[in-house]
Amino acid sequence: MSKNLTIKELTDVVGSSITPRMVRHYHQLGLLPQPVRSPSNYRLYNDKDVVRLQRIVALKQQGFQLNHIRQILDVEPEADTTANLMAQLQQQYQAVMQQIAQLRQTASALEGLLGRDQHCQIMQAEVLAQLKLLEVETKVGLGGLEKLWSGLDAQVHAHPEAFQESLQRLLPDLCDRSEIEQDLISKLVLACGDVSLVSFVRLGNRAIAASREALKSGCQIVVDVPTVTAALDMTRLVHLGCGVETLIDNPHVTTVTEAELAFWQHQEWQEKLQQVSQGCILVIGYAPSVLLCATQAIKRQQIQPAMVIGLPIGFSHAPAAKRQLMQSCVPFMTIEGTLGGGLLAATTLNSLVESLIEKPDCHCYLRPDLE
């Protein structure tokens, strides 16, 4: 770029839905330096402004708040300054986590009301009516609130929970997703009790269709650890003709830490991953290194799975492994960020299997001749 740009031209160059109004807001916050003015008093921007705004956009898309971005962009490279920035960001992280905890309390209160099924709706209506009239200036008033919740909770002893009724009131609108995907998301929410994960579920490269085709053909299922294997729907898998193989087949490996170290320390399991059968489904619910290794092997065309369910646990390697998976050409399912785990990984596969076959009324997979 050789000439100065107007604010409209700047936003066009940067893209990403940036508007002139947002640019002016960034000036007010000190994120962008004030530009020079033309004789007609128009703002004029140069190459440095473009780069600065691109960095702001990129960091914002990664989830950083604007005050965090300003500190990151303005920090000098000296070690002591970087250490101070890290300390400031850690403090801000704790503040964000406190806000999340407060919002979680609010969400729990709303879930306690909205998540009631028809059997609880009479008491639910009574509680809502009483909340409007609630006076909590005294301890007696607070005691009355506790009695309201107790009355509502007493209804749960009369019948089993109707999960689908609760989900209808709590889940966001999923009409733009297929019926199978809606069912998968519902089961994931039930598996962890956290409705917020809906916003982070990612499926790509024809994941649903590819997995169903592979399962119908009796593909091999390769799982990272025995704990995940134990949670699979073996009845349906046997009837589909799908064999299950555990990558780290050590029954003593029961935690994510053990799984991660075991995979790093034993070359045999890394080699075993690189020899999985073509068209298999990889189910990774614990070790991020397994997913990292798998994505590299896919990139080098050493393995060609039909689908990868990538839900490892971790706070740095796991999100990185998921990003690499989402950038690959293989069909995938993951949950962006740190959310994951063996139960969610097994739930994902089980949901896909359930979409293909009703559960047989037998346990023939327990017969020795079918092992």
Which residues are 283's β-sheet partners? 223, 309
In tens, the pLDDT along 31-87 reads 888 888 888 888 888 888 888 888 888 888 877 888 778 877 776 555 556 677 777
Higher-pLDDT residue of 350, 362: 350
Model confidence band, residue 223 (pLDDT cutoffs 50, 70, 90): very high
Return the pLDDT at 61.
Answer: 81
CATH topology of domain 7-74: Multidrug-efflux Transporter Regulator; Chain: A; Domain 2 (1.10.1660)
Residue 335, CA atoms < 13 Å, CB-side half-sphere: 28
In tens, the pLDDT along 307-318 reads 999 999 988 899
Most confident of 139-148, 210-219, 260-269, 351-360: 210-219
Residue 137 pLDDT greater than 60, yes or no = no
**Rg (Cα) of the chain, in Å, rounded?**
26
**Distance between CA atoms of residues 232 and 238, nearest Å:** 11
Residue 139 pLDDT greater than 50, yes or no = no
Indicate the range of 100-109, 197-206, 275-284, 297-306 predicted with least confidence: 100-109
Residue 268 pLDDT greater than 80, yes or no = yes
Return the pLDDT at 72.
Answer: 78
**Average pLDDT in the 2-11 region?**
82
> Could you tell me where the DSSP H helices lie in 115-178?
121-132, 139-154, 163-170
Asked whether 103 and 90 are in contact (CB, 8 A), the reply is: no
In tens, the pLDDT along 293-343 reads 999 999 999 999 999 999 999 888 999 999 999 999 999 999 998 889 999
> Where in the chain are all domains bearing CATH 3.40.50.10230?
171-370
**Distance between CA atoms of residues 334 and 313, nearest Å:** 11
Residue 278 amino acid letter: Q
Model confidence band, residue 234 (pLDDT cutoffs 50, 70, 90): very high
**Average pLDDT in the 221-235 region?**
94
Higher-pLDDT residue of 85, 270: 270
**Distance between CA atoms of residues 149 and 29, nearest Å:** 44
The percent helix, strand, coil of the chain (3-state, each to 5) is: 60, 10, 35
Return the pLDDT at 370.
Answer: 44
CATH topology of domain 171-370: Rossmann fold (3.40.50)
**Average pLDDT in the 88-95 region?**
79
End-to-end CA separation in angstroms for the chain: 66
Asked whether 214 and 279 are in contact (CB, 8 A), the reply is: yes
DSSP-derived secondary structure for 223-282: ESSHHHHTTS-HHHHHHHT--EEESS--TT--SHHHHHHHHHH-HHHHHHHTTPPTT-EE
Q: b or e along 244-276 (b: 16 or more beta carbons within 10 Å of the residue's beta carbon)? A: bebbbeeeebeebebbbebbeeeeebbebbeeb
> Residue 128: how many CB atoms within 10 A of its CB?
11
Coil vs helix vs strand at 307: strand
**Average pLDDT in the 110-133 region?**
66
Residue 150 pLDDT greater than 90, yes or no = no
- Helices first, then strands: H and E counts in the chain: 17, 8
